[in-house]
Chain A
Amino acid sequence: MKAHIERKKSQFVVVASIATELSDVMVVAKEISLAAANAKAIAYRAGEKARGFQPITDFINELARETIELVNQINEQASALYETTVKEYRYEQANKQFKTVSALSCEAVYKDSLVPIAAQLEEELEEMRYQFKNQVDQLLDQLSEIMHPARAARVIAANSRIEASQAGEFLQSLLTVAESVDKAAELMYTNVQRCRSSMAMMEL
């Protein structure tokens, strides 16, 4: 029972910490989006010299947009999971209490009246555990999905460096853009990885 309560506690903590990690990812995604806007402006001023850079800025922008959308979806999923965790916790508690009631009421005239309600609760609890597992799987899927834009961002950052080298006097500004995209992507990668490993530690 003790181990069980510990497990529940860790679920609450894990689900809550996902929300924190994700709000950081969101900040990062918005930074990338800003970097894309900067890059676009620089590339525009650089004209011919930064021709190769222009499609890259569109990529960066698209990437940021996609990330923000995914984070929103993951947030929704995480709060649904949190709700299930709370509900499941309440049902677990009631289930445990009902068992105590039946042990305490063995001499009571109406002891049997609780049986159908306890059975129903057990059934709903089973259903909820199933739902919980499903929601965790979905969340893990979404978390691995968000790794794609993070990885892509790093590739784009590398390409940006190459393109920047042809941009003459705009080299430094474009390198800065590439640097910030790379840093943001790395942060995102670390955060999401942390979410995934803490979820993996959560015993199901």
Chain B
Amino acid sequence: MKRTTLFDAGYQWIVFGRDPNKAENLIDTNQYMIRTANRCLLLDPGGTELFAPMLAAALHYAPVEEITDLFASHQDPDIISSLGLWDQALPQARLHAPAIWEGFLRHFGCEKIEYVPIEDAGGTIDLGPVELELIPAHYLHSSGNFNVYDPKSKILMSGDIGAALESPDAPMFVEDFSAHVEKMRFFHQRWMPSNRAKNDWIKRVRKLDIEMLAPQHGRIFKGDDVERFLDWFEALSVGSAVQV
């Protein structure tokens, strides 16, 4: 599992991905970690198949007992089907996840971990050196869905928004935006159901000062590419499976 540090000033943001041992028929995912002096938050920790490589990679940064928090942006299997295994590994941890998905996510197994429901309006996670904002991103694509915004590092973990389908050895960052667009178009048109939800999210997110937009699949957008992405997404019509 490739490990890349995104931010390092008092605490760290690390992205894990491009697992070389992943089966070919599984979609490649990015997992994120925020590491403070004595705590650790894993964002969208991934599917069952990814549990072992992910925990092994996390152990480079933190001992198990300091992995105190998990965050699941939504209920998808590639996001959090590993929950039942984390439940065994981190019996003291808390899972921050959409309130509406609680009864569903518990099917993955969540007996020891505390489920902290995020209400529709959003919320915060206080990690000590930074208070993370949970930004509503409902219907993009999941009906209960949140992004995580870090006002200090100015990183927005955007879940499936900004995702691209590409080869598992692709670089971590977008280098040529116009070339990258084609890898995102189908995913956004087909998986995102609502233009209204999309515009609401864009309005919300434009108010934030974002240096990196970090999706759960594909590459991370930096600097001006963040704005380019928002413009592109704004102009894109989504919900393509229903012909109007």
Contacts and interface: CB of A to CB of B under 8 A. Distances in A.
A109 B85 CA distance: 21
Interface in A135-152: none
Interface in B27-68: 51-53, 55-57, 59-65
Chain B contact residues: helix, strand, loop or mixed? helix
B88 interface: yes
Contact of B85 (A97, A110, A114): A97
B68 to A, nearest CB: 13
A200 to B, nearest CB: 31
Contacts of B127: none
B117 interface: no
Given A110-B64, A114-B64, A105 B88 contact: no
B52 A101 contact: yes
B84 to A, nearest CB: 6
B109 A90 contact: yes
B59 A114 contact: yes
Contacts of B55: 101, 105, 114
Contact of A90 (B60, B64, B84): B84
Interface string B218-229: 000000000000
A94 B52 CA distance: 10
A93 interface: yes
A110 B89 contact: no
B65 A105 contact: no
B36 to A, nearest CB: 15
A112 B60 CA distance: 11
A110 B55 CA distance: 11
A117 B89 CA distance: 7
B52 A108 contact: no
Contact of B88 (A100, A112, A121): A121
A47 B65 CA distance: 80
Contact of B63 (A94, A107, A113): A113
Given A100-B52, A114-B64, A117-B64, A108 B88 contact: no
Contacts of B60: 105, 107-110
A98 interface: yes
Given A111-B59, A113-B59, A104 B52 contact: yes
Contacts of A121: 88
A12 interface: no
A94 B59 contact: no
Contacts of A111: 59
B62 A110 contact: yes
A91 interface: yes
A97 B62 contact: no
Contact of A108 (B59, B65, B85, B89): B59
A104 B89 contact: no
Interface string A82-108: 000000001101100110110011011
Given A101-B52, A104-B53, A109 B88 contact: no
A113 B65 CA distance: 7
Interface string A112-127: 1110010001000000
A97 B86 CA distance: 10
A82 to B, nearest CB: 16
B117 to A, nearest CB: 23
Q: Which are the 9 A-B pairs with shortest beta-carbon distances?
A: A113-B63, A104-B56, A108-B59, A105-B56, A94-B88, A100-B52, A110-B63, A113-B64, A110-B59
28 contacts: A90-B84, A90-B88, A90-B109, A91-B88, A93-B84, A93-B85, A94-B88, A98-B88, A98-B89, A101-B51, A101-B55, A101-B56, A101-B59, A105-B57, A105-B59, A108-B57, A108-B59, A108-B60, A109-B59, A110-B59, A110-B61, A110-B64, A111-B59, A112-B63, A113-B59, A113-B63, A113-B64, A121-B88
Given A98-B88, A101-B56, A104-B52, 11 more contacts: A90-B88, A90-B109, A93-B85, A94-B88, A94-B89, A97-B52, A100-B56, A110-B64, A113-B59, A114-B55, A114-B64
